[in-house]
């Protein structure tokens, strides 16, 4: 918020009076509760997935059979689906988001920058289920009738774009995810770019660069760590996104080369099957998928925070 004006906080006085002691105790209590909740989240996920971990061990991650009837559970198809959809999303959203950020920070006149930023930030507020609804009834038919056939015409010789086009599938899920994470990429990148010192731009312009050359060869490279952090943060959102993906991915635990094929993600299989899971091993396998998701998202987010902090400053 108000950067630079933040006072250096220090312990002003000791908490000596009874009221102060009570106050301190309550404050400590609240914080400890908060910490316990987060630790509890991790512990409960581990406990819940323990039967599955004990039963399948490490092979859980590499097995591609997902057959609840035969009690065979392998996470590989879901890991594949999660990685592919997130990759498509970050590819699309990364390019569009960074370009939009460059425009908003360095090129747009302020009468245009403010409303455009506002619209892009509102995009982040649209609920996931609304994206899913739109994806299911607008985007999926559009992929089936327009985007899919067009891609197939040009790139149909690659396995990626071969096979029947259902409308729902990896590509559609990837595009919906891209829409959902574009605001994250654009908003943070814009802040990072805006934080690059003016001197650099002026020096570059003084040496005769055009505005575009300044933006892409001087400003963007200086901001690359922060922008990369923004992309990683957005990737974290894409990996764990559930409802919208569940609605447009087709829900089939298979690995197929084609991006038009229906698939499954870690989050969407939990959403779809958890309440219908009958055996305790089934439930446990689903919770283990949640645990994998949790661990991956913690790693990804920690990385992203470190990168964004290193340029924008902590808190």
Partner 1 sequence: MTVATLRYRTLGRRRAFGALGTALALFCAILAAGSLLAILGYVVVQGVGAINWNFLTQLPHPIGVPGGGVGNGIVGTFVVIGLAMAMAVPIGLLTGIYLALFGRGPIPEALRFLSDVLSGVPSIAIGLFAYAVLVAPLKHFSGFSASFAFMMLMLPLLVRTSEQAIRSVPQTVREGALALGMSNFRATVGIVLPTARPAIITALLLAIARVTGETAPLLFTAFGTQFWEFNPNRPMAVLALQVFNYAISPYSEWQSQAWAGAFLLVTAVFALSLGARLMLRRAMRGLDS
Q: What is the DSSP letter of 208?
A: T
The CB-of-159 to partner 1 minimum distance in angstroms stands at 29
Instruction: By CB under 8 A, tell whether 177 contacts partner 1.
Output: no
Which uninterrupted H or E stretch holds 67? strand 66-67
Residue 51: CB atoms within 10 A of its CB come to 18
Q: How many CA atoms lie within 13 A of 161 on its CB side?
A: 14
Instruction: By CB under 8 A, tell whether 51 contacts partner 1.
Output: no
Between CA 272 and CA 92 the distance in angstroms is 27
The CB-of-207 to partner 1 minimum distance in angstroms stands at 11
User: 108 CB contacts (<8 Å, ≥6 apart)?
Assistant: 116
The CB-of-271 to partner 1 minimum distance in angstroms stands at 6
One of 224, 243, 252, 312 touching partner 1 (CB under 8 A):
243
Site string for partner 1, 186-215 (x = CB under 8 A): x---------------------x-xxxx-x
User: 116 CB contacts (<8 Å, ≥6 apart)?
Assistant: 100, 104, 108
Residues 83-142 that bind partner 1 (CB under 8 A): 95-97, 99-100, 102-104, 107-108, 116, 119-120, 122-123, 125-134, 136-138
Q: Segment contacting partner 1 (CB under 8 A): 65-73, 149-157, 199-207, 239-247? A: 239-247
What is residue 297's three-state secondary structure? helix
Cβ-contact 230, 192 below 8 angstroms:
yes
Residues 247-266 that bind partner 1 (CB under 8 A): 247
What is residue 162's three-state secondary structure? coil
The CB-of-222 to partner 1 minimum distance in angstroms stands at 17
The CB-of-255 to partner 1 minimum distance in angstroms stands at 22
Instruction: By CB under 8 A, tell whether 19 contacts partner 1.
Output: yes
Residue 207: left (phi > 0), alpha (psi -120 to 50), or beta?
alpha
Instruction: By CB under 8 A, tell whether 81 contacts partner 1.
Output: no
Residues 146-165 that bind partner 1 (CB under 8 A): none
The CB-of-149 to partner 1 minimum distance in angstroms stands at 21
One of 31, 59, 158, 278 touching partner 1 (CB under 8 A):
31
Closest to partner 1 by CB, 102 vs 173, is: 102
Q: 14-46 burial by CB neighbour count: b if 16+ within 10 A, else e?
A: eeeeeeeeeeeeeeeeeeeeeeeeeeeeeeebe
Site string for partner 1, 264-303 (x = CB under 8 A): ---x--xx--xx-----------x--xx-xx--xx-xxx-
The CB-of-214 to partner 1 minimum distance in angstroms stands at 9
Between CA 214 and CA 203 the distance in angstroms is 9
Binding-site size, partner 1 (CB under 8 A): 101
């Amino acid at each position: 918020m108000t950067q630079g004006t933040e006072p250096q906080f220090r312990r002003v006085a000791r908490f000596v009076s009874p009221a102060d002691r009570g106050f301190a105790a309550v404050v400590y209590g609240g914080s400890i509760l908060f910490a316990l909740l987060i630790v509890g989240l991790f512990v409960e996920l581990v406990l819940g997935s323990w039967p599955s971990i004990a039963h399948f061990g490490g092979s859980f991650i590499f097995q591609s059979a997902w057959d609840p009837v035969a009690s065979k559970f392998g996470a590989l198809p879901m890991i594949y689906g999660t990685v592919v959809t997130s990759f498509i999303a970050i590819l699309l959203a990364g390019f569009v988001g960074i370009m939009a950020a460059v425009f908003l920070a360095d090129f747009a006149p302020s009468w245009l920058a403010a409303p455009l930023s506002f619209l892009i930030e509102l995009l982040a507020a649209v609920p996931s289920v609304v994206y899913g609804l739109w994806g299911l009834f607008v985007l999926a038919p559009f992929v089936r009738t327009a985007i899919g056939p067009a891609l197939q015409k040009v790139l149909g010789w690659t396995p990626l774009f071969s096979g029947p086009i259902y409308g729902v599938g990896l590509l559609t899920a990837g595009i919906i995810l891209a829409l959902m994470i574009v605001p994250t990429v654009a908003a943070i990148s814009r802040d990072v770019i805006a934080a690059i010192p003016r001197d650099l731009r002026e020096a570059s312009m003084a040496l005769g660069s055009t505005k575009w050359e300044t933006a892409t060869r001087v400003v963007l490279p200086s901001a690359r760590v922060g922008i990369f952090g923004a992309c990683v943060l957005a990737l974290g959102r894409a990996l764990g996104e559930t409802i919208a993906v569940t609605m447009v991915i087709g829900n089939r635990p298979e690995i197929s080369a084609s991006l038009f094929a229906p698939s499954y993600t870690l989050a969407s299989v939990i959403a779809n099957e958890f309440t219908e899971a009958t055996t305790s091993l089934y439930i446990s396998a689903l919770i283990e998928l949640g645990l994998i998701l949790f661990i991956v998202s913690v790693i990804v987010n920690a990385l992203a925070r470190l990168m964004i902090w290193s340029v924008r400053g902590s808190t």
